[in-house]
Structure 1
């Protein structure tokens, strides 16, 4: 659904808070939940290394608001058995080493893809997710982006947000199977209040270059 729902974003954010599992950087979970909920995401796919932690709860909260599905791709059965019990009622778990192929063949209709930057082939997976979008509008998000350090590349048209361990956010719009070159683009801007140290997030739309 190609429209932003402030109500869903707010409700997903509040639902995540009520779940009560807040880790080292709780703002990451809540921000991801609000973004997925506000996007009215219907198919949310997460690819991670090891236990996804509270971040997966953010997608579950968003799905509660949108009526969507949550799929979590893991690399081994051991990882699945360690996690599945806590999320079995809310998340579909899939095991596979080749995340790129899974995204392209099984989940090309995903409108919110969340990727752990700690994956060895993270950048290839991120780019494959962007190229495989078949719905009208989709968010591709990388978390733990600071793990990439100097290797972090912005060639894949993502915006870096200094939230928690870092987020890399890309919004893709497609028309008849092709990326839209025109139209308005949107991204997130982070401003820090010098007095309080609080971070304020704004969603900004910009017009494309006419050259």
Structure 2
């Protein structure tokens, strides 16, 4: 089984997120990740959030989970962050998503079969979180937001993926917001798309609400 793209679900999630996040200024990040998560029909959507951070992306992921009938979980480092996040989500969009508190090793052990994951590069342990993620056997999509803030100290997607059983099928960097770095990870035991195996590719359009620019992604 592999990830299947649903353009109708992606479009509905995108539109709903635009309506809910029009008061925020995140240059289309929320709309993009919402459409991606919904389009891939993600059943387990996980994100990390740091205290004081923006919540538009979280609203978009919550909307996506409602369109797919899935589960959206936000991972935070402590109880103060949990309280702030819940309050912000409630006040901004009357939403009450699931929140888990703890270290990556502890929290990720409770989240098996992740389909779609968003981590914030402003969080120092984002690479550690990715390494601990227990992905769905059919494959997953991983997203790093605020990727422009990453240092050039050797970060590579393949350094956080278990190459023994999985492969990074493709990656893409988008100049949306402060930079989005995405990777599509193969199913367990899958390959990178080389050799006789063929990977079907699709074009996805994303409109930046702030700048009016159109970004075209080939998946």
TM-score when normalising by structure 1: 0.80
| Cα distance in 2, alignment partners of residues 11 and 190 from structure 1 | 14
Partner in structure 2 of residue 60 of structure 1: 62
Of stretches 21-30 and 133-142 in structure 1, the one that deviates more from structure 2 is 21-30
Any idea what the Cα deviations from partners look like across 1:40-96, whole Å, max 9, x if unmatched?
A: 011101112123411101101111211111100101111111121334854101111
What does 1:81-120 correspond to in 2, within 5 Å? 81-85=83-87, 86-87=89-90, 89-96=95-102, 98-103=103-108, 105-120=109-124
What does 1:37-76 correspond to in 2, within 5 Å? 37-50=38-51, 51-76=53-78
1:202 matches 2:207: no
Going from structure 1 to structure 2, the CA distance change for 1:186 and 1:124 (only over 3 Å counts) comes to farther
Task: Flag structure 1 segments of 5+ consecutive residues without an equivalent.
Answer: 205-211
Partner in structure 1 of residue 28 of structure 2: 27
Q: Is the CA contact 1:47–1:99 (under 8 Å) kept in the aligned structure 2?
A: no
CA RMSD of aligned residues (A): 2.8
- Secondary structure of the 2:66 match is helix
| Cα distance in 2, alignment partners of residues 164 and 188 from structure 1 | 20
Partner in structure 2 of residue 172 of structure 1: 185
Task: With a CA cutoff of 8 Å and minimum separation of 6, indicate the structure with the bigger relative contact order.
Answer: 2
| Cα distance in 2, alignment partners of residues 62 and 133 from structure 1 | 18
| Cα distance in 2, alignment partners of residues 180 and 45 from structure 1 | 24
Count of residue pairs brought into register by the alignment: 195
Q: Is the CA contact 2:43–2:65 (under 8 Å) kept in the aligned structure 1?
A: yes
